[in-house]
Amino acid sequence: MQPSPLSAESVRTQLRKILSSRAFVRSERLARFLAFTVEQSLAGRRDDLKEFVIGVEVFDKNEKYDPRMDPIVRVEARRLREKLRKYYETEGQDDSIRIEFPTGGYAPLVQNKEAATASAPRKQTAESAIVVLPFANLSSDQENEYFSDGLTEELINALTKVEGLRVVAWQSSSQLKDKVRDLRRIAEELRVRTVLEGSVRRTAERLRITAQLVDATTGHYLWSETYERPLRDIFAIEDEISSSIVGALRIKLTGPAGRPLVTRYTENLQAYHLYLKGRFYWNKRREEDIYKALGFFEQAIEVDRNYAPAYAGMADAHIMLGKHGSAPAQGIMEKGRTAACRALEIDPRLAEAHVSLGTVCGLYEWNWREAEQHYRRAIELNPSYPTAHYWYGYDYLTPMARIPEALAEIQRAHHLDPLSLIITTSVGTLYDIARQFERAREYYDEVLDMDPRFVRAHLSAGRSFLHQNLYADAIAMFEKARELMPSSPVPLALLAHAYNVSGERAEADRLREALARCARTCYVPSYLLARAHLSFDPDQVFAFLEKALDERDPRMPHIGVFPIWDSVRDDPRFSALLERMGLPLPANCDQPVNAQDKIGGFRRTESPLANPSGE
């Protein structure tokens, strides 16, 4: 260990504190890694901490272990560095001793807090970037939380119209809700300089809104104001706050002088409140909440038949239910198209509706040319809308096997919405598609550190483990997903596939029987039944895939690129399915693939990314 006045006992005390923390108590392998390397260093054996030794002693590798072929130590070292960083940002922020692992080595560096802080590189913050933190609900009725959240989201949407200003999206901002706010730390994490925070107190007819803009690097207030107005003035207040922020940041607005930043889509306050309630539940992204959101959007439209954002919200809700397989696609995606078209009839410049219509055109109608036109138009209208970049990358470029472009778009979405659980998970999925499984795992781990109950990350991580033939790890992830969503058929299908490939056919049979029972009481898409028969009965796989194609399941266009379908990729029936959807055929897996071939497809052993680092 580096020369230090710290005693061995004080270092061991710090080690025990870290190992018992929430960050490490669920990570047995990382805990072993940390404990072993610290104890070896204390024993004077720093120079022995090589990849082979750690692989054998920590990860139970045998004497034939070759670090050049098995990167487990390098992968886990990256995870350990990230886990320690997050520990010291949260539970351990007041600890007097810091244990770190410099990049490129496996021997820990132990320092007191002052020395570690002095040597740590500071993250650069962007001058023209802002995060709007969720406004606190100070109303006596906690049900008014939808209103304080809605106000926050409306301010974010207004500020995205300011050219040259990067605004952190709502999904990331909402991750900071009800948490202790260290503005400097938030600013560093999100790479912003300014933070807007405030509170809302609402009575039947009155509003009291306080807002303050803070320079997070200095803690100085740049602007603050209190508004006490009738409830009907909400739109004017939103525009005043947005304009005041622009003035305080000395940003020059483009476009006609005096044009408001807040677009007033309705004059009906009842419709506006119903819309905000719809968005409140939509943002929860759970199936039952999406149905609630749909109900509120429908009520808003009943009150105001020309409320374009409510139609766009309705379209998004229908599309999400279709993409999740919650209902047959043929009915629900068509409703999504109808709602999106009505929104664009009212306002052809509504970016959200273009994204919705692009998704229906692509995933449901297989009209890929029109889909791309709508996605590009949405990005042109609102380049700061993360969902436009995300769905364009994931639901258009990915099925078209344009993987480098898809990753670039999803990374743009991630830049705008860095704490979004679903976008971060999808970055990992793109790396899985690129067969860069180590990178994919880093993103899944990041999501599960933020929210251990986020089911999509468990499912995606399990699928990634299956790609690598790590059956026990895959099954553990799918079982966790099953625990979190016990009534869903999705984990059953994925578990059946995992047991198929692991050779445990009796358990796989039991799970397929459970799926069949489930299908008698709820909707089970043919796509899931195909998954349950993978690596068991190819003819059944294709029978169910044909049915899924007839059903226009929105997940079907991704089969051409997802590694999970590699076992049937060479079957002529697979190419026929892709041809029917108008998608590129996979490259001949037995032939060399050059850079040009990668646009149309890629070999299962080769990464399709032009830049493997993903930077």
* 18: in domain: yes
**Per-residue pLDDT for 603 more than 50?**
no
**Per-residue pLDDT for 365 more than 80?**
yes
From the list 437, 363, 436, the residue with the least C-alpha distance to 397 is 363
- CATH of residue 321's domain is 1.25.40.10
- Lowest mean pLDDT: which of 56-60, 400-404, 502-506, 586-590? 586-590
- The residue among 86, 119, 152 that closes a domain is 119
Say yes or no: 520 and 554 in one domain.
yes
- Name residue, tokens 């984990």: 491
Band of pLDDT at residue 117, cut at 50, 70 and 90:
low
pLDDT of residue 5: 63
Q: What DSSP state is assigned to residue 19?
A: H
From the list 93, 96, 97, 80, the residue with the least C-alpha distance to 30 is 80
* 489: in domain: yes
Say yes or no: 246 and 176 in one domain.
yes
Say yes or no: 289 and 230 in one domain.
no
Say yes or no: 165 and 106 in one domain.
no
From the list 287, 280, 345, the residue with the least C-alpha distance to 313 is 280
Band of pLDDT at residue 594, cut at 50, 70 and 90:
very low
CB 308 within 8 A of CB 350: yes
> CB neighbours (10 Å) of residue 450?
15
* 482: in domain: yes
pLDDT 10s digits, 135-188: 999 987 777 899 999 999 999 988 888 888 899 999 899 988 877 678 888 888
Using CA atoms, how far apart are residues 476 and 455, in angstroms rounded to an integer? Answer: 13
Element (DSSP H or E) covering residue 88: helix 72-89
pLDDT of residue 2: 45
Band of pLDDT at residue 124, cut at 50, 70 and 90:
very low
- Number of domains the chain is built from: 4
**Per-residue pLDDT for 611 more than 70?**
no
Say yes or no: 105 and 149 in one domain.
no
Using CA atoms, how far apart are residues 34 and 49, in angstroms rounded to an integer? Answer: 12
Structure tokens at 568: 């049937």
**Per-residue pLDDT for 461 more than 50?**
yes
More confident residue, 283 or 526: 526
Say yes or no: 114 and 143 in one domain.
no
Residue at 93: amino acid letter: Q
**Per-residue pLDDT for 612 more than 90?**
no
Using CA atoms, how far apart are residues 194 and 424, in angstroms rounded to an integer? Answer: 24
* 388: in domain: no
> CB neighbours (10 Å) of residue 230?
9
Structure tokens at 333: 């995606």
- What average pLDDT does the chain have? 86
Residue at 433: amino acid letter: I
99 is in which domain, residue-wise?
Answer: 8-119
Q: What DSSP state is assigned to residue 143?
A: G
* 408: in domain: no
Using CA atoms, how far apart are residues 457 and 442, in angstroms rounded to an integer? Answer: 11
- Lowest mean pLDDT: which of 18-22, 271-275, 422-426, 599-603? 599-603
Using CA atoms, how far apart are residues 165 and 301, in angstroms rounded to an integer? Answer: 32
**Per-residue pLDDT for 256 more than 70?**
no
Structure tokens at 285: 């992204």
Using CA atoms, how far apart are residues 328 and 610, in angstroms rounded to an integer? Answer: 37
Q: What is the pTM of this model?
A: 0.77
**Per-residue pLDDT for 18 more than 70?**
yes
Q: What DSSP state is assigned to residue 96?
A: S
pLDDT of residue 105: 78
**Per-residue pLDDT for 598 more than 50?**
no
pLDDT of residue 163: 80
- Read off φ and ψ for residue 197, nearest 5 degrees: -135, 165
Say yes or no: 109 and 235 in one domain.
no
- The residue among 78, 102, 119 that closes a domain is 119
Say yes or no: 374 and 241 in one domain.
no
Say yes or no: 87 and 189 in one domain.
no
CA atoms within 13 A on the CB side of 349: 5
- CATH of residue 165's domain is 3.40.50.10070
3-state secondary structure of 97: strand
* 522: in domain: yes
CB 355 within 8 A of CB 385: yes
* 512: in domain: yes
pLDDT of residue 587: 57
Say yes or no: 234 and 350 in one domain.
no
Residues 6 or more apart whose Cβ sits within 8 Å of residue 243: 260, 261
CB 539 within 8 A of CB 545: no
Band of pLDDT at residue 428, cut at 50, 70 and 90:
very high
pLDDT of residue 116: 56
Residue at 424: amino acid letter: T
- The residue among 264, 288, 321 that closes a domain is 264
* pLDDT-above-70 percentage for the chain: 89
pLDDT of residue 259: 61
**Per-residue pLDDT for 610 more than 50?**
no
pLDDT 10s digits, 186-231: 888 888 989 999 999 988 788 999 999 998 888 888 889 899 999 8
* 414: in domain: no
Say yes or no: 247 and 99 in one domain.
no
**Per-residue pLDDT for 591 more than 70?**
no
Say yes or no: 244 and 306 in one domain.
no
From the list 258, 140, 153, the residue with the least C-alpha distance to 208 is 140
- Lowest mean pLDDT: which of 105-119, 449-463, 545-559, 570-584? 105-119
